[in-house]
Structure 1
Amino acid sequence: MSEQVAQPIWRPLADGLPFFAALSNGKRLRSVSDLLTLLVTLLLAGLFAGLSVPTSGFEQALVNLIGAIPSFLDVLWRLGVACLLLWVVVILVSSTVRVRVEVLVDIAAALVVAVGVALAFSRQINGVWPSFSQAASGGSAGSVPLISLACAVAVSSAASPHLSLPFRHFGRWVVLAAMLCVVLLESSTPFGALLSLLLGVAAAAAVHLGLGSSMGGPNLTGVGVALAQLGLEVDHLVEAPRQSSGVFLADAMSPTRGAVHIKVYGRDARDTQLLSRLWRAIWYRGATRPAMTREQQVEHEGFVTMLAASRGIAVPQVLVAGMTDSGDALLAVAQRGIPLEPGPTVAVEKIWQIVRSLHQIDLVHGALNLDSFAVVDQEFLLTDLSTVTSTTSRDQQLTDLAQTMVVTAILVGIERAT
C-alpha cells in the first residue's frame, strides 16, 4: 500500500540543498520530543556527575589508555575541535546574514542556560567555581564538565530544528567527533565530556520546550506535489484548523474525489505514540505493541481503516498512502464529514453500533472522543483509526464503551445516554 515518491514534504521546495528547513517566522510548537530529551539528558547528566568524581577504575583505565596515544596525533584532535567551532561560526553567520532572528534567539537563550547549568554542575562536582582557563580549554588537568564544549553543543542543538535534515545530521556528527577529540586531548575525562554533551543538549531542549521550536514546518505545496505523484490531484489545500502533536493535518478538494483530508506524520508522531502506549501499558495488563515508524503508522492506519470498511463499519475511504524518499509519510482519506454537535436529535444509537461492530472484529480504538465521529449525508462515521489495535482484551473493550458513554452523554445528556 505504501509507495515511494521523490518529493520531500517536510522541507521547502527549492533547488539545491537549503541550509535552513523552516520558513522564517514560522510557527513554533512545543514538542513531546523536547520534553523527552530534557528529562532523559538531565537524568543521565545526574548519573554521570555522580560517577565523575572520584574517577572510577573503568574511567581511569580509559584515561591511561588515552595517555598512551602518541602526542603527535594531537594536531588531528585539535582539528576535530576546530571543526565544531567552525560549525558554530557557520550557524551564527548564516543566521545573521539570513536575518533568522528566531534562530539567534534560541542560540542566545541556550547559551545562557548552558553556561548556568554547567557552572552549577562544576561547582557541585568540584567544590569550587572553575577558572576561565578551565571553562575554555580544561586547564592543565582537564575540567568536569568542560563548559566550552557544553556551550558549543547547546548552539548546535538549539539551531538544529531550524536546519534542513542533511545539515542536522552533519551537526550531530561534528559534535560527537569533537567530544571524542576533547577526551583525546585530555581537556576533560570521558565521563566529563559525556556530561558536557548532555548539558548542552539539555539546555537546547529546555529552550525549545519553553519557546517552542520549528521542525521545518510542512510545506503545503510539497504536500500537494507528493499527492499528485501518488495519483491524487488536489487544489484549495489548506491547513486544518485543529492539529495533533507530531501529525500535520490538511484539507483539500479533489476534482474527482471531492473533499480530502490529509495527514502527514512528522518526527514527534513516534514520540507521542510511544508516550500513549506507555500510559496504556500502566493501566492494561499484557504486552503492548511497540511504537512504529512513520511508514508503519501510515500503513497501519490505512490497513485498519480498509479492514473496518470491508466489514461494513462506517469509516472514511482511504484514497492514497505513501512514503517519500526523505522519510515523510502521508495518508489521504475522503471527506471526514461534519463534526458532531450536542443536541437532542443526535442518533447516538448509531455511535454505539459503530463501536460494537469494531469490537466484533477484535479491534479496539482506545481514544474515543467527540472528534472521533462525524456525520456525512446523515451517516455517522468513525473518522480517526490511528489508535486502533487488534485485541480481544475485555478490559480495553470496556474502556472503549466507557469513552463512548462519555461522548454520548456530551451529545444528548446523561439520561438519554444511559
Structure 2
Amino acid sequence: MSEQVSQPIWRPLADGLPFFAALSNGKRKRSVSDLLTLLVTLLLAGLFAGLSVPTSGFEQALVNLIGAIPSFLDVLWRLGVACLLLWVVVILVSSTVRVRVEVLVDIAAALVVAVGVALAFSRQINGVWPSFSQAASGGSAGSVPLISLACAVAVSSAASPHLSLPFRHFGRWVVLAAMLCVVLLESSTPFGALLSLLLGVAAAAAVHLGLGSSMGGPNLTGVGVALAQLGLEVDHLVEAPRQSSGVFLADAMSPTRGAVHIKVYGRDARDTQLLSRLWRAIWYRGATRPAMTREQQVEHEGFVTMLAASRGIAVPQVLVAGMTDSGDALLAVAQRGSPLEPGPNVAIEKIWQIVRSLHQIDLVHGALDLDSFAVVDQEFVLTDLSTVTSTASRDQQLTDLAQTMVVTAILVGIERATVIAAEQLD
C-alpha cells in the first residue's frame, strides 16, 4: 500500500502520434477559459481596430522596415501562407475522412462567425465593405483586417481542442508564422494582421462557448488507451461513483496490480484551478500559490504521495503517471479502498496519526473531509493528496487539525471526537 515501486513512475507515451485526440465522451461543456479568451480577444480586437486607422507612427515605421526587405524573399513568405492553407485543408480532409462530425460542426460555425465579425470590423474601420480581392489577399494596398487570415485562424482554433497535443501546438505555430508572412507580403498591416488573428480566435472561442467543448472531459476508452500506452494494462474500467470537481475519476482492475484508481486532469482541472485562484485572491490576499499546469499537478501529487509513503504514512502506491495524447495528465494509484462509514467503534486515532505524521514532514493537506480517507485492508489510508502543500505554516496546520476534528466528529459523534482530539493534541 505504501511501498515504492522500483520502475519509473512518469513515463512517455508509446510510439504513435494520432492526429485526433481520443473520442470525446459526448458531453460538451462550456469552459471558463473559453469565456475569458472571448472577452480578452474582443477587447484587444477593439483596441487594435482603433489603432489601425489612421496608421500610427510606430506602425508606419514597421511598414517602412518591411518595405526595405528584398522582394526575392517573397517566395518564402508565400510558402508560409501556403502552409496555413495546407493545414486548414488537412484538418478538413481528416475530419471528413474520420467522420468527426463534431469537428466539422465547430469549424463551420466558427467560419460563419469569423466572416461576419471580420466583415463588420472591416466596414467599421474602412467605411466601406471589402471587395473579394481585399478579403482574400488584401488587394493592392493591403486589408485591415484580412478576412481570409481570420477565417483560417478560426478553422485552426475551432479544431484545436479535438486534436492531439503535438498537432495542437503545431497548428498554433503555423498560424503565428502565417500571420508574420502576411505582414511581410504587405497583404495587411502589422496591427491588421494581429486584428485578424484575434478575430479568428474570438470566433472559435464564441463557438466553443455557445456549443460547448468536448475538450474538458476524457472518456473511458481514451483513459484505457493511455494507460496501456503508459505500460499499465487494465480491464473493467468504470467511472468512479464519486467525481471530484475538475478531475475525472475512474476505477479499474489490473491483472498484475489489482484494484487501480485513476485520476485524469483535463481542461476542467485548469478551469477549476483558475476559479479557485481567483476566489482565494479575493478573500485571502497573498494566499494564492503559483498556478500549475496539468502535468505539474500530476507530478506534484505523485511526488508528495511517494514522499509520504517513504515516511511510513498510509497512502496509496503510485503506479504510473503521464500525459495522454490529448494533453490530459493522468495518475494511477493502487486500490482506493472503501469509504469511511460513521460508527461508535471507528478507530479515529488512526486518522489523527496520519494528519500529525504529515505535519511532521512539513506537509499540510488543506482540504480534509470524509472523501480524503478510505479503508484499505482494514487500515485507514489518506487517498487524496492533490491539495497537499509543503513548507507548512502553523495556521495551515491548525486548519488541518480543525478539519480533522470535523471529520472525526461526523464518524463517532462530537463527544468522543472531542475526547480523542484532546488526547492527540496534548
- TM-score, length-scaled by structure 1: 0.79
Q: Structure 1 residues 25, 369: CA separation in 2 closer, same or farther (over 3 Å shift)?
A: closer
The Cα offsets for residues 315-366 of structure 1, whole Å up to 9 and x where unpaired, read as 3233444568997754322222223467788776765664454334432223
The Cα offsets for residues 13-50 of structure 1, whole Å up to 9 and x where unpaired, read as 99965433333775544445434533443343344334
CA contact (8 A) 1:364 1:396 kept: yes
1: CA distance between counterparts of 2:2 and 2:50? 48
Alpha-carbon distance, 1:273 to partner: 4.0
Alpha-carbon distance, 1:224 to partner: 5.6
1: CA distance between counterparts of 2:311 and 2:275? 30
2: CA distance between counterparts of 1:380 and 1:41? 49
CA contact (8 A) 1:338 1:376 kept: yes
More moved, 395-404 vs 86-95? 395-404
2: CA distance between counterparts of 1:146 and 1:339? 58
How many residues matched? 418
Alpha-carbon distance, 1:384 to partner: 0.9
1: CA distance between counterparts of 2:193 and 2:229? 47
Partner of 1:6: 6
Alpha-carbon distance, 1:294 to partner: 4.7
Partner of 2:377: 377
Secondary structure of 1:46's counterpart equals: helix
CA contact (8 A) 1:2 1:322 kept: no
2: CA distance between counterparts of 1:102 and 1:9? 35
Alpha-carbon distance, 1:188 to partner: 1.6
Alpha-carbon distance, 1:271 to partner: 6.0
CA contact (8 A) 2:11 2:321 kept: no
Partner of 2:364: 364
Partner of 1:218: 218
CA contact (8 A) 2:216 2:266 kept: no
CA contact (8 A) 2:4 2:317 kept: no
More moved, 6-15 vs 164-173? 6-15
CA contact (8 A) 1:143 1:188 kept: yes
CA contact (8 A) 2:340 2:374 kept: yes
Q: Structure 1 residues 43, 6: CA separation in 2 closer, same or farther (over 3 Å shift)?
A: farther
More moved, 322-331 vs 383-392? 322-331
Alpha-carbon distance, 1:62 to partner: 0.5
1: CA distance between counterparts of 2:414 and 2:14? 55
The Cα offsets for residues 232-257 of structure 1, whole Å up to 9 and x where unpaired, read as 55432334345556644332223454
CA contact (8 A) 1:274 1:290 kept: no
Partner of 1:196: 196
Alpha-carbon distance, 1:100 to partner: 1.7
2: CA distance between counterparts of 1:189 and 1:107? 26
The Cα offsets for residues 350-409 of structure 1, whole Å up to 9 and x where unpaired, read as 656644543344322233344323333554432210121013324434544565566667
| % same residue | 98
Q: Structure 1 residues 72, 233: CA separation in 2 closer, same or farther (over 3 Å shift)?
A: closer
More moved, 314-323 vs 145-154? 314-323
CA contact (8 A) 1:281 1:287 kept: yes
Alpha-carbon distance, 1:189 to partner: 1.1
1:23-172 to structure 2, matched below 5 A, reads 23=23, 26-31=26-31, 33-127=33-127, 129-172=129-172
CA contact (8 A) 2:114 2:150 kept: yes
More moved, 17-26 vs 166-175? 17-26
CA contact (8 A) 2:237 2:253 kept: yes
Alpha-carbon distance, 1:166 to partner: 3.9
2: CA distance between counterparts of 1:296 and 1:76? 38
Alpha-carbon distance, 1:52 to partner: 2.5
Q: Structure 1 residues 102, 176: CA separation in 2 closer, same or farther (over 3 Å shift)?
A: same
2: CA distance between counterparts of 1:308 and 1:3? 10
CA contact (8 A) 1:163 1:216 kept: no
Alpha-carbon distance, 1:229 to partner: 7.8
2: CA distance between counterparts of 1:383 and 1:96? 44
Q: Structure 1 residues 393, 339: CA separation in 2 closer, same or farther (over 3 Å shift)?
A: same
CA contact (8 A) 1:22 1:216 kept: no
Q: Structure 1 residues 40, 313: CA separation in 2 closer, same or farther (over 3 Å shift)?
A: farther
1: CA distance between counterparts of 2:259 and 2:197? 48
Alpha-carbon distance, 1:150 to partner: 1.0
1:173-322 to structure 2, matched below 5 A, reads 173-215=173-215, 234-244=234-244, 247-266=247-266, 269=269, 272-273=272-273, 276-277=276-277, 279-284=279-284, 286=286, 289-321=289-321
1: CA distance between counterparts of 2:304 and 2:9? 24
CA contact (8 A) 1:2 1:299 kept: no
Q: Structure 1 residues 162, 225: CA separation in 2 closer, same or farther (over 3 Å shift)?
A: closer
CA contact (8 A) 2:2 2:309 kept: no
Q: 5+ unaligned residues in a row in structure 1: which ranges? A: none
**RMSD after superposition:** 4.7
